[in-house]
Chain A
Amino acid sequence: MATHDEPRFEGTRPYFGVPFIFYSSLQGRLVVDLSGRPVGRLHDLAVTAAETYPAVTALVIRLGRIESFPLTARWRDVDSLDGRVVRLKVPVEGLVPGRIALAEQAFWVNHVLLDRQIVDTAGAKVVRVNDLHFLWTGAGDLYLVHVDVGFRGLVRRLGWSDAIDGAVRWITPHARYLSGERLITWRYVQPLTLEGSGDALRLTVPRKELSDIHPAELADILTELDGRERESVFRALEPAAAAEALTEVEPKIRQRLIASVPPERAADILEEMPPDEAADLLAALPEPESNLLLQRMERDEAKDVQELLQYAPNTAGGMMTTELIALGAHLTAAEALALLRSLARDVELIYYLYVVDPAERLQGVMTIRHLLLADPQARLEDIMQREPVGVLPDDTRERVAEVVEKYNLLAVPVLDAEQKLLGIVTVDDVLTHMTALAWKWKLGKR
């Protein structure tokens, strides 16, 4: 039970002794000035996202029912929130007419959060904000701590919470509805509303957490978002995260996303992608654009991609990657291990080591297991398996799948007529294609 000298807050619930307050109960509250004269009603709040939890810095007071004469008050001029009124420490003459311009990282909650879509970075979902949850400290500061995305928040905004709560309590006193707020901590909230228009679109508050989401989930989020917001989220990502997310989204969205960033940045992202994925993406773009991007890429990466671009996408050549570990036959197992250690960082699949002669013709193949179990002084030509299985660059996807399945491989080398090692097709790319086929066959879906 609350003690007598504790202040009463309408619409709040003490939680570990600290009062929380919902935006729905603040918005529309009567604002009175120093002398108790009514000024208007609270209409909007400005918060600054510079800190972990955004602090409220200003409030907009609306005079009439129509927002023709807004006044802005600084939050530090707020005296108390007792009862159903916001009491100011200053006279009405001390308020700024109109809305003030906000500093970098600060925003109006009505414009950026309320009723808008946000990304819940912990749940990796796109959700709509129904209400906001503030913390009111004894010192008079108000911090935004949660956004409410639950049904109860919706009911609260509609102004029906007393009636609905009462009805639910009467029917089932312990209903989940009564205790089940769906609040998301501000730390896991990525706002999406954009400022400016035309080319200057940017996220109001770009958050680091977005890059921490698993690429597959990030791809789902990107798919779920609407055009402009999708592009701005994509632009806010680091090139590495952007590259990973790109490999996971469907081809149509992929092309749009890469076209939405400046060429320099697009080239950076392409460099981070596995060469086969980058080649697929470039192959789908109109020729002038793909040439431009190739020119902007680092020479080595561009060369790999260009080699892959000459093969049709549904052949072994089109599916392969040029990232692999090829070693000379004369190396010892110990030397090979040392080399592997230095190469492993940049290569997608390191389980297979391909042994080649000076003309890059494939001599044999071995797995890391073979290497680890071998005598450190043994030469690779003595450990390796001779006459390895391979496919031709023009072999179809189905043929590649057959070989992978028949020999139980994680990757199959692609060789030209002279046995020269061109690249490898990894099992994940084979699977992507085969599961798509299986789904199509089973459900008639895409």
Chain B
Amino acid sequence: MEVEAGKAVSAVAAARASRWRNVRRFLLVMGPGIITANVDNDAGGITTYSLAGARYGYDLVWTLIPITIALVVVQEMCARMGAVTGKGLADLIRENFGVRLTFYAMVLLLLADLGNTVAEFAGIAASLEIFGVSRFASVPLAAVFVWWLVVYGNYKRVEKIFLVACVVYLVYVPAGILAQPSWGSVVRESFRPHAQVNAAYVTMLVGLVGTTIAPWMQFYQQSAIVEKGIGVEDYRYARLDVTSGCVFVSVVAFFIIVACAATLHVQGVAVETAADAAQALRPIAGAYAATLFAFGLFNASVFSASVLPLATAYSVCEAFGWETGVNKRLREAPHFYGLYTGLIALGAAIVLVPGIPLLPVMYLSQVANGVLLPLVLVFMLLLVNRTDLMGAHTNSTAMNAIAWMTVVVMIGLSLYLVGATFTGAA
């Protein structure tokens, strides 16, 4: 009996030890998925969610569920490809689809991301103007800060700072609660898929999907997995990282929509930007909600302004075989630093030009995103199903069904968005 009891105790201890080991491994692997997903809630994302809430109330909340599923499916494939092949997505595309397609894809990525970077700096300017800081101070300072952070920080430290920035997104949760929504109707609307058939509504819907699933994310996600050295043996932790990141992002998006729906939509306040939304919240939901909202926007913009140009520089250099890496000297990796610095400098400069119409820049970037996304998704699906690359880790039939469905819907929506942008309906 004594011996038996001893065995049982040691089995419990072993189970506990292995559980701790699992937690520890997850903490080591965690990062790429959560960070990528959060950068996704950038200035553009927060604006879109705010507008969706302000204009349509709780009407669009239900879309977050299918959007999250699609996001998880897409990002999981990238993480898996990164872990199995040890190569970035741009690498794989260049090696398997040739130089021409890669080149044009990279031109689109550059255009799209330049537009996104401009949006981030616009977000920085707008959010700090709420606190009374001039954009001519905030934008150059922020540009120098993000540049310095990446050039003089190593991946480990930068990742920790980014993870802290992710936590700051939680400010939207109290902002949403302070807005005192009617929770009954929020829950009812969340699980009731319905749509209006008019151009403005569909455009809003496309905007929501487009801002959540953007092409740069797939490139960044996969590169970050590779950079972190996550292999097949750690893959299940990486999958958990990706999934929890995507869910977290949708929760934040949910509270942004709810905050704006419960206040601005109910009161019928018309807003055009996220900064408008923050200002408009003040008289309705109180100073705290407005401050939290503005601070969240600032955090998101700074965070994304450093990751987006970095992700772009990595992808482009990977595709063309130029040296990459923040641990290289300027002379060793001139293309990499050139692209990174150029994107930040140009992005910040465009925002500072007095009276510049930002809308055309955003539209151009939206079109580039729209054209690029279906292309990237199709590339990904072709690659992820190749046994010579993926071995036993190709997609299952069910996974392929969901993925192709996502692709078809995304292509449809993207085509609509591109068309709408050209005809001026958007």
Q: Spell out A's residues near B (CB within 8 Å).
A: 115-117, 127-130, 149, 154, 157-159, 197-198, 226-230, 252-253, 256, 443-446
> How many Å from the CB of B155 to the closest CB on chain A?
9
* Subset of 26 A-B contacts with CB under 8 Å: A115-B94, A115-B98, A115-B102, A117-B91, A117-B321, A128-B94, A129-B321, A130-B321, A154-B103, A154-B320, A157-B99, A158-B100, A159-B100, A226-B85, A226-B91, A227-B86, A227-B229, A227-B231, A228-B86, A230-B86, A252-B229, A256-B231, A444-B153, A444-B157, A446-B154, A446-B156
- Not counting A127-B321, A226-B91, A256-B229, a sample of 5 additional A-B residue pairs whose C-beta atoms are within 8 angstroms of each other reads A117-B321, A158-B99, A226-B87, A227-B87, A252-B229
Task: Please give me the residue from chain B that is nearest to A252 by CB atom.
Answer: B229
Given contacts A130-B321, A228-B85, A228-B86, contact A157 B391 (CB under 8 A): no
**A116: which B residues are within 8 A, CB to CB?**
95
Partner of B388, one of A127, A158, A197, A444: A197
What residues of chain B lie closer than 8 Å to A158, measured between beta carbons?
Answer: 99-100, 103
B10 at the interface (CB under 8 A from A): no
Task: Collect the chain B residues with CB atoms within 8 Å of residue A227's CB.
Answer: 85-87, 226, 229, 231
Verify A443–B94 contact, CB threshold 8 A: no
CB distance from B368 to the nearest CB of A (A): 19
Q: What chain B residues lie within 8 Å of A443 (beta carbons)? A: 152
Chain A residues with CB under 8 Å of B154's CB are 445-446
Kindly name the residue among B86, B156, B157, B387 whose own CB sees the greatest number of chain A CB atoms within 10 A. B86
Chain A residue contacts of B85, Cβ below 8 A: 226-228
Majority-rule SS of B interface residues: helix
Looking at chain B, what size class is its interface with the partner chain?
20 to 34
**Binary interface profile of B, 71-102, with partner A (CB < 8 Å = 1, else 0)?**
00000000000000111000100110011101
Counted as pairs of residues, one from A and one from B, with CB atoms less than 8 Å apart, the total is 54
Give per-residue flags for B164-203: 1 if the beta carbon is below 8 A from chain A beta carbons, else 0.
0000000000000000000000000000000000000000
Partner of B99, one of A130, A197, A445: A130
Q: Is the beta-carbon distance between B387 and A197 smaller than 8 angstroms?
A: yes
Q: Residue on B with the closest CB to A194? A: B388
Q: How far is the CB of B232 from chain A (nearest CB, A)?
A: 9
CB–CB A128/B100 < 8 A: no
Closest to B91 in A: A226
Residue of A nearest to B98 (CB): A115
A125 to chain B, nearest CB (A): 8
Nearest neighbor of A117 in chain B, beta-carbon distance:
B321
Chain B nearest CB from A97 CB (Å) reads 22
Q: List, in ascending order, chain B residues with CB within 8 A of A230's CB.
A: 86
Question: Which 5 pairs between the two chains have the least Cβ-Cβ distance?
Answer: A128-B321, A227-B86, A226-B86, A157-B99, A226-B87
Chain B: CB-nearest residue to A446: B154
Q: Which residues of B contact A128 (CB under 8 A)?
A: 94, 320-321
Question: Taking the nearest CB of chain B, how far is it from the CB of A341, in angstroms?
Answer: 44
A256 and B233 alpha carbons, distance in the complex (Å): 11
- Give CA–CA (A226, B154) in the complex, Å: 19
Distance from B335 Cβ to chain A, minimum over Cβ atoms (Å): 10
* Chain B residue nearest in CB terms to A445: B154
Please measure, in the bound complex, the distance between the C-alpha atom of A127 and the C-alpha atom of B100, giving whole angstroms.
Answer: 18
The residues in B between 379 and 411 inclusive whose CB is less than 8 angstroms from any CB of A are: 387-388, 391
B233 to chain A, nearest CB (A): 10
Chain A residues lying within 8 Å of B320, measured Cβ to Cβ, are: 128, 154
Contact status of A198 and B391, CB under 8 A, knowing A227-B85, A228-B85, A228-B86: yes
A184 to chain B, nearest CB (A): 12
- Closest-by-CB residue of A relative to B317 is A128
Residues of B within 8 A of A130 (CB): 99, 321
Q: Chain B residues near A444 (CB, 8 Å)?
A: 153, 157
In this complex, which of A128, A229, A253, A446 has the most chain B Cβ atoms within 10 angstroms of its Cβ? Answer: A128
Determine if B321 and A149 form an interchain contact, defined as CB atoms under 8 angstroms apart: yes
When C-beta atoms are compared, the residue in chain A nearest to B152 turns out to be: A443
Q: Are B388 and A154 in contact (CB under 8 A)?
A: no
List B contacts of A226 (CB < 8 A): 85-87, 91, 226
Encode B108-131 as 1/0 by CB contact (under 8 A) with A: 000000000000000000000000
What is the minimal beta-carbon distance from A140 to any residue of chain B, in angstroms?
Answer: 29
Q: Which residues of chain A come closer than 8 Å to B102, judged between CB atoms?
A: 115
Q: In the assembly, what is the distance between CA of A198 and CA of B390, in Å?
A: 10
Nearest residue (CB) in A for B93 is A115
A219 to chain B, nearest CB (A): 14
Closest to A24 in B: B99
What are the residues of chain B within 8 A of A256 when measuring CB–CB? 229, 231
| Bound Cα distance from A116 to B100, whole angstroms | 14
